[in-house]
Amino acid sequence: MSALRQALADYFAVRRALGYKLARSEKLLAQFLTFMDGRSETHITTETALTWATLPNGGRDWAFARLSVIRRFAMHMRGIDPKTEIPPTHLLSRQPHRATPYLYSPADIAALAAATDTLLKPHRAATLRTLIVLLSVTGMRVGEAIGLDRGDFDVVNGVLTVRNTKFGKSREVPIHPTTVTALRNYLHRADRPRGLSDVQPLFISEVGTRLQYNGVQQTFRRVVHCAGLKTRSASCRARLHDLRHGFAVNTILDGYRAGGDPKGRIALLSTYLGHVDPGSTYWYLSAAPELMSLTGERLERHLGGAA
């Protein structure tokens, strides 16, 4: 193993100890080092990094992402190898374009649940319907939900244990008794397929395997079409992930409606959603007109009282 590849292995060991998974970064950096080997180079240079990042296999955003991965590794390497060059941040840029959250109304969620009946196989329909409902009342990530095993569902105490989440952490998610009942009924369906391994997933496919992320997304898009949910703008279309946005917004809205201080809910919500940084939680609260209206009304009352 070359010194550079050993340094790469050490780099990932350190970052994964901090909770990062870095599967894509590992793949990209391995490809970059192979590219360097082909050029007989042993030190990272800006020119080589830029050449590899802009190879014709993706657009501008993809090149930016590839160069960013190299830059982070180069910053690590600079302390080991003074000949390392760190690519400047201005070399490539991209336009920020986060999708606008599609905030579902209760009627929208009911329409989605009803539209699952258009799926031909009853168990498949029940699986997606139960998944949609679970995501809407817990704000879990899609990957977290389909990664649950039967053993992660504590029926007695009404708790789901989410393991190895986005940042390598686990957390317990308390759920409402009605959600417990819905999950229990789903698990005890007479047409539930037999699992193909000793580890039994909570959500199971028609062939007895764990659901796959891409397959779930594809089926959800079909259900959205059948439910008649229309795209609201070029950046706002119904996505499964937006059920997480809706849960976050509704949690804070409930705090405002109850007349209490919603600030205290932010920390609890951040923990419940599995966020490392509360700033990520605030992003989930954006683009909600009703929430902005209630915030404005509270500010006006505060300013009026201070006058």
Residues with catalytic function: 141, 166, 241, 244, 275, 284
Neighbours of 128 (CB within 10 A): 22
Give the number of residues written for the chain.
307
Residue with tokens 């009853």: 122
Q: What's the rounded Cα separation, in Å, for the pair 277 and 262?
A: 18
**CA nearest 166: which of 14, 266, 23?**
23
Burial 191-220 (b: 16+ CB within 10 A, else e): eeeebeeeeebbbbbeeeebbeeeebeebb
Residue pair 249/288 in contact (Cβ under 8 Å)? The answer is yes
In 113-174, where do the E strands start and end? Answer: 153-154, 159-162, 171-174
Residue pair 148/173 in contact (Cβ under 8 Å)? The answer is no
Burial class (CB in 10 A: 0-12, 13-18, 19+), 249: buried
Q: What's the rounded Cα separation, in Å, for the pair 96 and 39?
A: 33
- Write the CA distances from 84 to 11, 54, 64, 75, 91, integer angstroms: 15, 20, 19, 8, 17
Residue pair 136/247 in contact (Cβ under 8 Å)? The answer is yes
- Residue 298, helix vs strand vs coil: helix
